[in-house]
Copies of this chain bind each other. A is one copy, B any other.
Amino acid sequence: MKGGQRIVDNLVSNNFKGKIYPINPNSEGDLFGLEFNRSVLEIEDDVDLAIFYVPNRKIPSILEECVQKGIKGAIIEASGFEEVGEKGLQLRDQIIQITDNFSKIRIVGPNCMGLTRIDADSDKGDEKGGFFTSFAVFYQYKRGNVAIISQSGMLNGGYLMYNLEKYPELGLRYSCSIGNKMDLSEIEFLEYFIEDNTVNVIAIYLESFKDPRKFIELCKKVRSMPDKTIILVKGGLTTQGQKASLSHTGALAENSQLIKAIIKQSGVIQARSFYELFQFARTFSMIYKNNITLPKQGNVSLVAGSGGAGTISADLTIEYGLKFPILGEKTYNALINIFPEWMPPNRFALVDIWPAMEKAMMNKTNPEIIMNEVYKLLLGEEKVEGILSMMFCSSRFRSVNNYQAVIENFNHTSKPIFFWLIGEVKEINRVSRLLSDNNIPTFPSLEDMIKNFWILVQESKSKIY
């Protein structure tokens, strides 16, 4: 199937409620029951938006017809503009002339994967869908509180689908591919998402800043909002990266000191890669869904199911600038009772829970009661702003990782709780699903877990109330 057909498929199969007019001067008959028109000028109704999936050279003449028809917006998905040099720049100049410098018609793209708005989950039958204009067809998705603005189509297409499969609990509200941003850019989309209260997390990938001053101003506005976070990956931080972005979205080289200054002033969370971008977005998405208070001091407690992991975790936690507070007398004394005499707990909030579990098992106490008690104590400790947990999952030792019993506790706290799960892959997946159904994120490694806690502290420090 060609790209144009896939776009119509995406609109139709995802329940777009408006009218769709496929246009092809060379086609007769219909597409998914929609009759072809040979030109927009043949359409009798008014048209709000034109979506282009035609080779770059054919765009100016069709765009002229769109202006004539009075269409106010266009999404141009074709590539071959600023990013290919001279010929592409000529095409751009033609477009600027035809649109009277984008005053007659506003343009998303070119060189993009369209816009997506999700209104209801893909498994919601007739209610599913929203507005899907990518040439990548979306089959599985959830509505959520994350909005994506990206200069890499991959982030709105294949890589996005990959992440929706990887993080089945990750819900999206919008996914906007802005391509070369010849007209509309991160600025307009950011303005829109700031006003939209269904959006908590704005995940952005940029190869260039369209208007740094305005960008900083908008980010500052977000810094004063308690329910929104911006995460940014900036491509083209190095000379080689800039060369690559020039041939990708036609982004012109930016001074790397200037880039650093913009990011710093904007106060956004910076991600180094797409991997971090999605992981951070998922974390904040869950944080907002559970009304979690962002940790201000970085005072964390670590609950570890292994001494060696405890040591490494302590090192990495400290390296990230987080701290283990000294436990209050009340908490410490309560822990002493739970722990065996031969292995008393630490005075600081690093809890190797294993000896307490062993003691419980020796006394024929269900270990989940102990686990529940330890979490309750730590969550009740004033100085502890959140909990990092390292747990071993095995179906053969299910009693030590039966989180069903602990979830209740988790649902009544405003402190973040993160998990790093190891053990049998199947059992990890089971526990992970249980936790993420309750908006408790799990991470594939210790460092990911710590890093994601650290960004919460960054975000809290960046907030201006």
Contacts and interface: CB of A to CB of B under 8 A. Distances in A.
B350 A240 contact: yes
Contacts of A311: 152, 207, 235-236, 241, 244-245, 248
Contact of A162 (B274, B315, B422): B422
A5 to B, nearest CB: 14
Contact of A308 (B150, B424, B425): B150
A309 interface: yes
Interface in A6-50: none
Contact of A444 (B275, B314, B394): B275
A238 B319 contact: yes
Given A84-B342, A237-B315, A238-B319, A307 B275 contact: no
A318 to B, nearest CB: 4
Given A154-B308, A248-B307, A308-B235, A314 B422 contact: no
Interface in A139-163: 150-155, 158-159, 161-162
A116 to B, nearest CB: 17
A447 B315 contact: no
B315 A236 contact: yes
B274 A238 contact: no
Contacts of A348: 240, 243
A447 B276 CA distance: 10
Given A152-B312, A154-B309, A243-B314, 13 more contacts: A151-B308, A154-B392, A159-B392, A165-B425, A235-B311, A236-B315, A238-B314, A241-B314, A244-B311, A245-B311, A247-B346, A248-B307, A274-B308
